Chain A
Amino acid sequence: DGGITQSPKYLFRKEGQNVTLSCEQNLNHDAMYWYRQDPGQGLRLIYYSQIVNDFQKGDIAEGYSVSREKKESFPLTVTSAQKNPTAFYLCASSSQGRVNEQFFGPGTRLTVL
């Protein structure tokens, strides 16, 4: 089945540690996105990539980094510079130029202790 996988579903880290969240898609989509969701707030765009080896900052990129070495994969690293990393993180993908047709992954809930 085609889709987007994010692993793990729940992730716990100690304060000060970097952590990398996985996002893989087998939909042959060029574009991939990372969102952060906090209680009572809408999804906010962290980074997006429209093609392999290229990515752009979203609205809240500070404290995060990404890479796009393969079309299928768009990992997000939450660095120790992110002041409030505990949140629900969603990955999405779409065909290039079709931002209106995003498919979402199941999400990873990150808790920093």
Chain B
Amino acid sequence: DAKTTQPNSMESNEEEPVHLPCNHSTISGTDYIHWYRQLPSQGPEYVIHGLTSNVNNRMASLAIAEDRKSSTLILHRATLRDAAVYYCILKTSGNTPLVFGKGTRLSVIA
């Protein structure tokens, strides 16, 4: 799997938008960009994924650069519950496992 690069940690104020960046300069044409998060003492949780176009769901938005070499996970209004480690993962379609990196630890300040 192609590698991703994320900042080790980020901090946000509650109710502010958060932009979590991810670089994946070696992404291949068949790689999907997945985001998962892991809340303290819980298993990872799916957030969003996309291929080329920007994606929105009830949890977040995913903005994908035109050359697909980077992407940004956007939390529109951070809450204390959003404090977690966020993982950006490249994954081919189909029945393949996720390979986790170190992720970004997001802290949310009240």
Partners in one complex: no
**A positions within 8 Å CB-CB of B:** none
**B positions within 8 Å CB-CB of A:** none
